Chains A and B, each alone.
With several copies, the nearest count.
Chain A
Amino acid sequence: MDLAYGADYDAFREEVKAFIRDHKHRQPQPGDGLRSQALKDWQSVLIEHGYHSRTVPRDYGGYGAEPDIIKSRIISEEFGAERVHRGFNGQGVTMLTPVLLEMGTEEQKQAFVSPTINAEIIWCQGYSEPGAGSDLASLTTKAELDGDEWVINGQKIWTSTAHHADWMFCLVRTEPDAPKHLGISFLLFRMDTPGIEIRPLVDMTGDANFNEVFFTDVRVPKNQIIGERGQGWQVANAVLGHERGSLATPDAATNRLNGVKRLMREESISGQPIIDNPVFRDRLMRLEGRVLAMQYNDMRLLSAKINKNQDVRLAKIIVKLIGTELRHEIECLGIDVMGEIGLSYGDNPHVKGLGSWQYQYMFYLGLIIGGGTSQIQKNIISERGLGMPKEPKMSAAEKAVKGA
């Protein structure tokens, strides 16, 4: 057990600190949007210094460093501690870029990587469909080849940045007769292609965090495909795992827990500081114990990435299930301790700097469901983590009876 990063890394940390000190004033301000010059400039500065797209090769506009998890962690820690803008990290950056680098043609890499990491192309992801939430293999949006073009018809849902995006990377069924997992292709296309309609999908928070996207005879050049026809499932899966882990980071949970703690110290009900209420304090401490467990679990995962000598399969696949649930419960405590005032929402002046517990409470319920419901997570944990059998498939006869 050695929790120190060592002298070289300490030096690197100083570099990062110095960078932040010197450049902090140039970061985008709250009002600056996705399309602002301020964001683009900041993005360039970050890439130039290796604090964004660090391992993307220089040939494609990145910084070109070797992967180094500890350096990534140090950057993350220092930017987090100083609350400095991390640059744009949409789905194009986090999910498509690795796919392009691994499976794209040279031409595709040249065309897309640099504009993507420089926030010149904003992407959205078209995976989920209304009939295929936890079950991507049964997606039905289809693309048929007509001359030199794919013609797409169907619908996507849970498309988070569709209304801001320039392009979409999308899974479509191209071989309707192939077995389910083998008939899918991975296409790229512009969002202003005729036949695309975007409808915002308002959710329980009242915001439209997601969209539905409808395709009617959308025509896409034949070569805008990553990988081979029918390999889209494999292409997408190469990065899907990445998404699942990132929904529930223990750092954020720690921050929110400390937020509740602050709230309980600062606020009083009937003249008594909330922290003096032993029942709420016990709930707080109970949650703190759970947060600590996830925090050290995360350090173990980080260490396993660096040292590659530990089996952390189980420690990894439980993070989404436990982490999202934990966040949901932390937010619930934030609500409960405030009594009636805990109901405040939106423009209610009592929401003030306390943070919107109700918003996060609902948003984290969304995350418990999204990216594989808790039920799917438990299936995965029992099957991949504990070696238990898969759900038996129904016989054909029964499908006929139960289906339809």
Chain B
Amino acid sequence: MEFGLSQDQLLLDDSVRKFLSAEVPLDAIRSLAAGEGSDASVWRGLADMGLAGVLIPEAHGGAEMGMLDAVVIAEALGYAACPGPFLSTAVMASYLLKEAGATDPLARMAAGEYRVGIAFSDVIGARKGQVTESDSKLSGQSLFAFDAEADAYLVALADGQVLMIEASEVKRASLTTIDKTRSVCELTFDASPACLVTDDMALVKQAILRGRAVQAADTLGAAQYMLDQAVAYSLERKQFNRVVGSFQAVKHMCAEMASQLEPCRAFVWYAGHAFDEASDDAAVTACHAKAHLAEVGQFVAKTSTEVHGGMGFTDLLGLHYWFKRIGFNRQLLGSPEAVRQEAAVLQGLCD
């Protein structure tokens, strides 16, 4: 019995973190946020390490690892506030295309050469007007698709059909959100030709669940970064002739962050593992992990900013990129309330 990461996973974690700390310094995030540069080279680097194909079978050029590996990677990506289409291409689209037997794009995806975005708004929480399909042509709007630089999109309709459409076939308007380390867009379809991938609603749901587990890990990583920064800053910064980290109030804020965050580590590991083992509780666990990390993440994001005092509010330390990434994760693929509701439905506690 061993509950924890294997040697391989520890090595994976270590190598991803080393790569990210070299390749995604704060300056790189700033440039991207300013609309300069792109995440292309970072994504290629991650792909070279096998991360773009984490869930893709070896037969299709992937690394054929598991969801626990994806969770380990996501935690490292969150810690670094790393941009790139990991959630969309490497997790959700890879899973869905593989399961649906639409294996054509997988090799290019694993190589980091083809990015597939996710346009699931109609399933996650539809607003006025939904996307409709007629004769393999899509019409309407998908309000919130990620990422904005994808080469193609998987579009999920309310009835569970998923179609794939080349980016060149749609009108794409980039959407500004709080989080500049991720990109989002609005897609407008006008009888745009698309290709049916599956009409199995269960696959859509499973893809979303896997996305949630991975997102929980991303939030854990980002929150851990904010906690680490808060502790370090509090031991440097002085007020009233003492380092602020010697004040009981500040110590307790850090203790509260650590106390809430630390158990999340085991939680997200299990959330990943449960998919790999096809455990009965995988779906409920993914929902709970996502919702729980949304709440803990919000607490840590706010508290760490407060520990940083005025500096936390400024752009100078760049702390806000992590604050916003945590905020982004909170809403993406369902707000905590919506996701908890789903956890209840999955247990048969309500319809």
A–B: direct contact at CB < 8 Å: yes
Binding site for B on A (CB under 8 A): 1-6, 9, 70, 128, 131-135, 138, 157-158, 201-204, 206, 210, 261, 265, 267-271, 275-282, 284-286, 288-290, 292-294, 296-297, 299-300, 302-304, 306-307, 309-310, 314-315, 318, 321-322, 328, 332, 335-350, 358, 362, 365-366, 368-370, 373-375, 377-379, 381-383, 385-389, 391-392, 394, 399, 402-403
Out of A1, A303, A314, name the residue touching B262 (CB < 8 Å).
A314
Is the pair B295, A286 in contact by a Cβ cutoff of 8 Å? yes
Give the interface size bracket for B toward A. Answer: 35 or more
- Tell me the chain B residues, 207-235 only, with Cβ under 8 Å from chain A: 231, 234-235
16 contacts between A and B (CB under 8 A): A134-B239, A270-B125, A278-B350, A285-B288, A285-B291, A286-B292, A292-B285, A293-B264, A306-B1, A306-B2, A332-B298, A377-B255, A378-B249, A379-B248, A385-B255, A388-B251
Q: Are B126's CB and A270's CB within 8 A?
A: yes
Cα A346 to Cα B262 with chains together (Å): 34
CB contacts (< 8 Å) of B178 on chain A: these are 343, 345, 358
Q: With A2-B1, A276-B350, A318-B258 in contact, is A348–B175 under 8 Å at CB? A: yes
* CB neighbours of B349 from chain A (8 A): 261, 265, 275, 281, 284
Given contacts A315-B263, A345-B178, A382-B251, contact A269 B340 (CB under 8 A): no
**Among A289, A328, A378, which residue has its beta carbon within 8 angstroms of that of B340?**
A289
Judge if B328 is at the interface, Cβ distance under 8 Å. yes
B231 pairs with A370, CB closer than 8 A: no
The interface centre, meaning the residue of B178, B239, B312 with most chain A CB atoms within 10 A of its CB, is B178
A388–B263 contact, CB under 8 A? no
**Minimum C-beta distance from B33 to chain A (A):** 9
Q: Is the CB of A388 within 8 A of B235?
A: yes
Distance between Cα atoms of A270 and B130 in the complex (Å): 10
Complex Cα distance, B327 from A134, in Å, reads 28
Interface membership of chain B positions 325-346, coded 1 if the CB is closer than 8 angstroms to chain A and 0 otherwise: 0011011111111101101100
Q: Are A269 and B126 interface neighbours, CB within 8 A?
A: yes
Q: Is B15 an interface residue (CB 8 A)?
A: no
The answer to whether A388 touches B264, judged by C-beta atoms less than 8 angstroms apart, is no
A373 touches B246 (CB 8 A): no
* Complex interface: stretch among B50-58, B83-91, B192-200, B265-273: B265-273
User: CB within 8 A of B259: which of A206, A307, A321, A344?
Assistant: A321
B115 at the binding interface (Cβ < 8 Å) = no
8 Å CB interface, B273-319 against A = 273, 276-277, 285, 288-289, 291-292, 295, 298, 302, 305-306, 309-310, 312-316, 319
Could you tell me the distance in whole angstroms from the C-beta of A58 to the nearest C-beta in chain B? 28
Name the A residues within 8 Å of B336 (CB-CB): 336
Q: Given A203-B315, A303-B2, A386-B258, A286–B340 Cβ distance below 8 Å? A: yes
Q: Identify the closest chain B residue to A269 (Cβ).
A: B125
- Which of B270, B310, B343, B350 has the most C-beta atoms of chain A within 10 angstroms of its own C-beta? B310
Residues A341 and B144 in contact in the complex (CB < 8 Å), given A270-B125, A277-B337: yes
Contacts of A392 in B (CB 8 A): 242, 246
Q: CB of B171 within 8 A of chain A?
A: no
B134, CB-defined interface residue at 8 Å: no
Known: A346-B176, A389-B246. A318 touches B315 (CB 8 A): no
**Smallest Cβ distance from B307 to chain A, in angstroms?**
9
Task: Knowing A286-B291, A315-B263, A341-B143 are in contact, say whether A300-B246 is a contact too (CB < 8 A).
Answer: no
| Nearest CB in chain B: distance from A173 CB, A | 16
Q: How far is the CA of A389 from the CA of B245 in the complex (A)?
A: 7
For chain B, residues 128 to 164, give those with C-beta under 8 angstroms from any C-beta of chain A.
128, 143-144
Q: Which residues of A contact B305 (CB under 8 A)?
A: 204, 365, 369
Contact of B310 (CB < 8 Å), options: A5, A128, A288, A318: A128
Which of B3-11, B39-47, B73-81, B101-109 forms part of the interface with chain A?
B3-11
Contact A382 B255 (CB under 8 A): yes
Check if B340 sits within 8 Å of A285, measured CB to CB: yes
Is B19 on the interface with A (CB-CB < 8 A)?
no
Q: Are A299 and B266 touching (Cβ within 8 A)?
A: yes
What B residues does A292 contact at CB under 8 A?
Answer: 267, 285, 288-289, 292
User: B252 to chain A: which residues have CB within 8 Å?
Assistant: 375, 378-379, 382
- Cβ-defined contact, B258 with A314, below 8 A: yes
- Give the CA-CA distance A307 to B266 in the complex, in Å: 15
Whether B313 lies near A366 (C-beta < 8 A) is yes
Q: Which of B179, B240, B270, B310 contacts A369 (CB 8 A)?
A: B310
Q: What's the least CB distance linking B299 to chain A, in Å?
A: 12
Instruction: Give the shortest distance, in Å, between B341 (CB) and chain A (any CB).
Output: 7
**In the complex, B256 has a CB within 8 A of chain A:** yes
Q: Does B38 contact A (CB under 8 A)?
A: no
Using Cβ atoms and an 8 Å threshold, which residues of chain B touch A282? Answer: 337, 340-341
Contact indicator A1/B5 (Cβ below 8 Å): yes
Query: 18 additional contacts, CB 8 Å, given A204-B324, A348-B175?
Result: A133-B309, A138-B239, A138-B241, A203-B320, A296-B267, A299-B3, A303-B2, A318-B258, A336-B337, A339-B334, A340-B331, A350-B143, A362-B313, A375-B249, A378-B259, A385-B258, A388-B231, A389-B235
Inter-subunit contact A138/B240 (CB<8 Å): yes
B277 contacts which chain A residues (CB < 8 A)? Answer: 3
**How many Å from the CB of B186 to the closest CB on chain A?**
8
Q: Do residues B245 and A340 form an inter-chain contact, with CB atoms below 8 A?
A: no
B323: interface (CB < 8 Å): yes
Q: Which of A309, A318, A388, A394 has the most CB of B within 10 A?
A: A388
Shortest Cβ distance from A347 into B: residue = B176
- By beta carbon, the residue of chain A nearest B1 is A5
B35 CB to nearest chain A CB (Å) = 12
* Contact indicator A280/B310 (Cβ below 8 Å): no
**Chain A residues within 8 Å of B121, by CB:** 340
* A201 and B314 contact, Cβ closer than 8 Å, known pairs A339-B331, A365-B305: yes
